[in-house]
Amino acid sequence: MVRSYSVTLKRIGAVELRRKQYDRSEGHYRAALALEEALMRDDPANTRWPFEVTYTLSDLALLRRLGGDDVQAEALWTRALDLRRHALAADPNNVRMLSGVATILSKLSGVDHRARRFRQEIARLAECLALRERVLDIQGERSAPSAERAWAVLYLAQAHADFAASGDPAGRASTRVARALFARIAPDLVAFEPPDPEFQRLYGALAAQLRPR
């Protein structure tokens, strides 16, 4: 009963989020989080609740980011990441857990990017890519090509390209790395059927950025 009420609160919050009613949406998500945290405390042996909480935390983080509060967004995503890492440690070959950790790492890398923490962004995205590839290893060749892997490689290549363009002397080698990563994307492009306009836009922009001058 409590879980059903929590799900209902989040569904309302999701509708409000799409309507850009951010304050109302956050209120519903925080009410849902309070219920889920109580369930987690009351039933600590149940591994379902911590992972359930991570989705609520992630949506709250998005709301904070949309409200311009990257500090709170990072804190919420970091808490979600810690919970997902703990769940993954207990079941290291669980594809859902692997994908879940990768997703939060990708979201945190966006915060790093806006703060121009390029080295941390690259570290997070490199781990994200490793997790996406681990999923493919577990699922076998039938799952390749992978749109998720293509996105992970594209984001990592972009991070290296941006680090190289930042003027930081430590980023000088990143142009070479970005080009090598960019070349890895092509085989997975067939995974986008029909083509993804946003992926095509970012792919084209990175191609232009990496073009020798």
Residue 51 has what pLDDT?
84
Distances (CA, A) of 87 to 6, 55, 144, 176: 21, 13, 26, 36
- pLDDT tens digit string along 60-91? 999 999 999 999 999 999 999 999 999 999 89
Within a domain: 7: yes
Residue 145 has what pLDDT?
65
% the chain with pLDDT above 90: 76
Q: Give the residue numbers spanning the domain of 60.
A: 1-90
Domain boundary among 90, 108, 139: 90
Average pLDDT over residues 22-26: 95
- pLDDT tens digit string along 173-206? 999 999 999 999 998 898 898 889 999 999 999 9
User: How many domains does the structure of the chain reveal?
Assistant: 2
- Considering the domain architecture, whether residues 191 and 132 belong to the same structural domain is answered as yes
Within a domain: 161: yes
Residue 49 has what pLDDT?
79
Residue 210 has what pLDDT?
93
- Considering the domain architecture, whether residues 178 and 131 belong to the same structural domain is answered as yes
- Considering the domain architecture, whether residues 74 and 17 belong to the same structural domain is answered as yes
Domain boundary among 90, 109, 144: 90
Within a domain: 151: yes
- Considering the domain architecture, whether residues 79 and 154 belong to the same structural domain is answered as no
